[in-house]
Amino acid sequence: MKFQLVSEAEINKLREATMNVLNNIGIATTSDKFRSFLLDNGCKEKNGRIVFPQPVIDKALKTVPKEWSITGRNGDRVVEMGKNKANAQVCIGMPSMMDLDTGKRRDATLKDLEDFTRLSDALEFIDITAPIFPKDVPQESLVTLEVATLLRHSTKPFRICLESHDEWPYVYEVLVAVAGSEKELKEKGLGYYEVSPLSPLDYGKGPAEAMMDVIEAGLPLGMDPAPVMGATSPITIAGTVVQHMAELLVGVITSQLMDPGHNVIVSPRSGGLMEMKTGVALWAIPEMGLGGALNIQLAKSWGLPAGCGCYTGASKVADAQSGYEHLYNALIPALLGVDVCGSAGSVDNALIGSYEMLVIDNELSSVIKWTIKGININDDTIALDVIENVVNGDGNFLGHKHTRKHLRSGQEIWTPFICQRAPYETWEMEGMKRLEQVAKEKVKEILATHEVEPLSKEVDAELDKIIKKAQEALAG
Amino acid sequence: MEKADILKKLADAVAEGEEELTVELTKKAVDAGLSPVEIINDGLTVGINIVGERFGAGEYFLPDLLLGAKAMEAGINILEPLMVGGEREYIGRVIMGTVEGDLHSIGKNIVINMLKAAGFEVFDLGVDVPTSKFAEEIKRLNPNIVGISALLTSTMRKQQEIIEFLKEQGLRDKVKVMIGGAPISQSWADKIGADGYAEDAIGAVKVAKSLL
């Protein structure tokens, strides 16, 4: 499947503008380590900012891997990047949850992180886990606990976001303990590791040095700043995509300068928009879908693996609005070849986690993956002989082997997970349930039954020790 | 131009967010013999109030508000050197900053502009402000309200730390504490014992006025 949002000439215009930002406007950074590294590698200072001469950019972009993969702790769950697969990823960093029983917003807890992760583990079309932000645990050593919790409650690869250098040694220790050794960790990756510089074009000390930690450790890097159109980036989609692409490329360039061939993905969040009455950041339709998709088309023009915000919307609950917002924002980038569809299981502009929405997003992910897989066109699927055979025979296709064959193949007809498609009478008899109710029941069923293959007792105990050590060392 | 005419045009310039025109008209007003207080009260403030009204009526959006506030500030910058001091009257004094480890300024700045437009005197401590700095500035400036902003889920705990530190320093009873930021909620405000929280900048002004 090949779709384009804008023409090749327009993409070239955006590429030139992106280079212009890097060549002439550049970035700010408060990290001396990052600043020296860039200056030692051909970058220049201009008005206190750091700019990237074209030869530096060209050299770096030559070595970026177009395809790579990450593997979960058991070795059987692999996520491929660069193959336009629209891998669905749980939303990161949500500080609140929609309570499954009361239907009201409340603080996220460690129990939520465990349950949300276990639910993600069970859902077939959710490929990558990520942590919500529990508030009932020590916050200074949160990432260590989060990574340990993700690894305990799912065997799927994860995505985390690192904010500073200070906590990295403990996070790394958890990763090595679970992978078995540094070598095995490098091979599997277990997940990918993102940092989030500030828009516009500001690499603070925390994200800049965390980024260098990830590259030094030989682990897959992701770049995830989140501009807000009209506030931290231009209000125009084109301007936002250009500024944002430049921000993302700085991470890509750094990774290649430090370690040519380093696995890296860009995670543009173009399309986030400041609601100009209240100042609330919207991750809504249509800007999020269009901005994400344009950024994906641009990133892919350099052959970069790329993901975007996909399963997002402004609705506060898992309702019809969330359904159409999430589908719109995910499907357009997916048609343009996105590698990762983020924000699954979120409502309220990715600020609140919703168990029901995670189940609904799983369904959307299923149909989106089905869609981008494409339609099989060959003599067998065109079925001229079958048509002739049937019209000259008993007049219907129901009893034809061709029908049975393709029904069984799983390649022609999509099978829903929670969509209600039974006859009206059946639906009425079963209580006239709305989809949200079906999703909620599915959540309860999965949480009551799904078991994740546990870590070994030794590793589990080791994680407890590391978490304790991190909490003691980092307590403010 | 008549004095009244200059003041009306000045109010319009602020209402339309025209910074250069505001500067030009402010200078004209001074040349015409109007006092700084007259120019502020009967020109600039009239303009910023129009901005507030239009915002309330749904005709104006946040960029209009910021451009209006910028225009007003540009006018005041010209008048300040001419004032004897202490001539402006504010409805309250606020200091605001983003917590340590957090470099986000947009939300804070919107609230600051809204508060200024509503007649508060606001001191901006900037971003990445250490906990101790909040306490020092409270001692130095004796504000009615301290506003603490945090955008990251990882930095919001600093709001709690600051409140606790103010208690230790015996400053908590001297000032009202307002908190804000994307991950912040009323339940978090209640939990850490903040006096005020609002989901957006419009709400923040209402809460600030109620705390005076």
Tell me the C-alpha distance between A249 and A60, whole Å.
10
Domains of chain A, by residue range, sit at 62-373, 379-409
Residues A301, A339: contact at Cβ < 8 Å?
no
DSSP B81: G
pLDDT in tens, A224-233: 989 999 999 9
Q: Does domain B92-211 have CATH number 3.40.50.280?
A: yes
pLDDT band for B85, please (50, 70, 90 cuts): low
Number of Cα atoms under 13 Å in the Cβ half of residue A135: 21
pLDDT band for A131, please (50, 70, 90 cuts): very high
Q: Residues near A406 by Cβ (< 8 Å), separated by ≥ 6?
A: A381, A412, A413
Strands A346-347 and A352-353: antiparallel
| Contact state of A107 with B183 under an 8 Å Cβ cutoff | no
Q: What is the DSSP string of A421-456?
A: -S-HHHHHHTT---HHHHHHHHHHHHHHH--PPPPP
| Contact state of B154 with A232 under an 8 Å Cβ cutoff | no
pLDDT band for A1, please (50, 70, 90 cuts): low
Phi and psi of B148, rounded to 5°?
-120, 120
pLDDT at A169 over 90: yes
CATH number (1.10.1200.10, 3.30.750.24, 1.10.1240.10, 3.40.710.10) of B3-82 reads 1.10.1240.10
| Contact state of B201 with A281 under an 8 Å Cβ cutoff | no
pLDDT in tens, A41-67: 999 999 999 999 999 999 999 999 999
Rounded to a whole number, what is the distance in Å from the CA of A104 to chain B's nearest CA?
Answer: 12
According to CATH, where is 1.10.1240.10 located in chain B? 3-82
Q: Does B154 touch chain A (CB under 8 A)?
A: yes
Identity of the amino acid at A311 = Y
Which residues in A lie closer than 8 A to residue B182 (C-beta atoms)?
A: 281, 351
Tell me the C-alpha distance between A105 and A315, whole Å.
13
For the entire predicted model, the pTM comes to 0.89
Q: Does B150 touch chain A (CB under 8 A)?
A: no
Q: Which two tokens stand for residue A48?
A: 């206190």
pLDDT in tens, B167-202: 999 999 999 999 999 888 899 999 999 999 998 777
Which residues in A lie closer than 8 A to residue B58 (C-beta atoms)?
A: 277
Phi and psi of B86, rounded to 5°?
65, 15
Q: Which two tokens stand for residue B84?
A: 């004897």
In words, the CATH class of domain A62-373 is alpha beta
According to CATH, where is 3.40.50.280 located in chain B? 92-211
Q: What is the DSSP string of B140-187?
A: HH--SEEEEE--STTTTHHHHHHHHHHHHTT-GGGSEEEEE-TT--HH
Tell me the C-alpha distance between A239 and A237, whole Å.
6
What burial class does residue A6 get, using C-beta atoms within 10 Å of its C-beta: 0-12 exposed, 13-18 middle, 19+ buried?
Answer: middle
| Contact state of B183 with A133 under an 8 Å Cβ cutoff | yes
Tell me the C-alpha distance between A387 and A392, whole Å.
8
The answer to whether the complex's ipTM is over 0.85 is: no
H or E segment to which residue A265 belongs? strand A264-266
